[in-house]
Structure 1
Amino acid sequence: MAVPKKRISIPKKSIRKNIWKKGGYWAALKAYSLAISLSTGNSKSFIVRKISN
């Protein structure tokens, strides 16, 4: 038989939500940093082929 879960307090809910949001923030920051390094040519982890005309 299904039993309803206990209610999570508002402070605990907001703490968990902030931790979850912070994960997205760090992922976005890493992606932005990688994009900057690729665009400037300073990337050490990716080899980018430059096309010259």
Structure 2
Amino acid sequence: MAVPKKRTSRSKKRIRKNIWKRKTYWIALKAFSLAKAISTGESKGFFLVRQTKINK
């Protein structure tokens, strides 16, 4: 027979939530930094091919 689990304490819930928030913060920061490097042309790990207009 199934037995209900005990309720998770507020402090444990808050700790887990903060860990998740911290991880997402660093992922977002790295993504923003990479996007900034690519847009300014300072990226060393990516090759960005820019299309040039051909004047006729």
Specify the TM-score bucket, using the shorter chain as the normaliser: 0.7 to 0.9
Aligned residue number for residue 48 of structure 1: 48
Unaligned runs of 5+ in 1: none
Over residues 8-46 of structure 1, what are the superposed CA-to-partner deviations in whole Å (9 max), with x where a residue is unaligned?
111111010000111111111111001100001011111
Moved over 6 A (4+): none
What's the TM-score once normalised by structure 2's chain length?
0.83
Structure 1 or 2, whichever has the larger Rg, is 2
**1:10-49 mapped onto 2 (5 Å cutoff):** 10-49=10-49
Distance in 1, matches of 2:26 and 2:3, equals 37
Q: Percent of pairs identical after alignment?
A: 60
State how many pairs are aligned. 53
What's the TM-score once normalised by structure 1's chain length?
0.87
Aligned residue number for residue 2 of structure 2: 2
Provide the alpha-carbon RMSD of the alignment: 1.0
Unaligned runs of 5+ in 2: none
Distance in 2, matches of 1:11 and 1:21, equals 15
